[in-house]
Amino acid sequence: MPAGLFPFMKLQGIFPALTTCFDESGEIHKEKLAVNIRKLNQIALAGYTVCGSTGESPLMSFNEKLDVLSCVAGLASNGKTLIAGVGQESVRETVRLVNMASEIGYHVGLALTPYYYKSQAQCPDTQKLYFRAIADESKLPILIYNMPRVTGYDVPVDVVAELSHHPNIIGMKDSSGNVEKLKETAGAVKAGFQILSGSGMTFCDALYAGAVGAILAIANAVPYACVTVWEAFRMRQEEAARDWQQRLLSGAKLVPGVHGIPGLKHLMDIKGYYGGRPRLPLMPSPPEARAEIERAFDGINS
């Protein structure tokens, strides 16, 4: 389907940024991934984001990403929107992955801002060229992925506003946690451009600032709590929404921010999901980190 002719894709609600399950030898553990997805299918989640940063995608081969994308697509229940993490440093490889994700059954491609060659990547013109070139060739609508903690680059408001006019760039995942900037961006983009928060600490505030939903790492382990914030927001119960965000706050500061993917996987293990080991060179959380995580999430149902 030519770019710009996609039916409108509504991205409201909570999307877990799925972890990837590995066995003790570091191989993808499809059986455990299936267990997680079947549990998550029972919850009122909008869909799943697969092979993003939470999924340890930088540590996976191209074919492994396709394998995980296929596995989740085959397990997701009807009505779940599937977002594929497709960002590669080159336009060519990003287009190849997003178009293969389209064939697998995904609905949206999520592309991280390129960052490796910083002297060029951290330039607005480079970012605009990258996303336009992808969107021109992609068989899926594209989300910009802004994650300055990893990339060292925070996409300027005017760049997002300009890219929002491309007919095949439909929104952005903003993991900066900067709610004021998100609000400014929401006011600057083309009508219909959808912003999703990627911050477990500020996603409630982001919803009131103009976000339409959230893609969250902590939703792997405490999806009910995340959905509760969304439902309270949707029902215009602001006090309840902010109360639940406050309950999540101390834990969301730790996972994945302080203790990373290993900490998130430990949280999943204690909340009844399969977290398991991260892939090397990431190491399991030490005992003191595990204890801190357990205290922070005590009393929060999975």
Would 297 be classed as within a structural domain? no
Alpha-carbon span 109 to 106, nearest angstrom: 8
CB 233 within 8 A of CB 207: yes
Would 116 be classed as within a structural domain? yes
Would 272 be classed as within a structural domain? no
As for how many domains the chain has, the answer is: 1
For residue 136, what are the domain limits? 13-238
The two three-digit tokens of residue 62, written as one number: 């191209």
- Please identify every residue annotated as catalytic: 173
Would 282 be classed as within a structural domain? no
CA distances (Å), origin 75, targets 9, 42, 100, 128, 175 = 21, 12, 18, 35, 27
CB atoms within 10 A of CB 272: 12
Alpha-carbon span 143 to 90, nearest angstrom: 16
- Tens-binned pLDDT, residue by residue, of the chain (302 aa): 444 445 578 999 999 999 999 999 999 999 999 999 999 999 999 999 999 999 999 999 999 999 999 999 999 999 999 999 999 999 999 999 999 999 999 999 999 999 988 888 789 999 999 999 999 999 999 999 999 999 999 999 999 999 999 999 999 999 999 999 999 999 999 999 999 999 999 999 999 999 999 999 999 999 999 999 999 999 999 999 999 999 999 999 999 999 999 999 999 999 999 999 999 999 999 999 999 999 999 999 87
Would 42 be classed as within a structural domain? yes
Would 294 be classed as within a structural domain? no
CB atoms within 10 A of CB 202: 22
Would 114 be classed as within a structural domain? yes
* Residues making up the chain, counted from first to last: 302
Would 18 be classed as within a structural domain? yes
- Residue 40 CB partners (closer than 8 Å, separation 6+): 16, 48, 223
Question: Nearest-CA neighbor of 143 among 134, 154, 152?
Answer: 134
CB atoms within 10 A of CB 249: 14
CATH code: domain of residue 101:
3.20.20.70
CB atoms within 10 A of CB 296: 21
Looking at residue 299, the DSSP 8-state letter turns out to be T
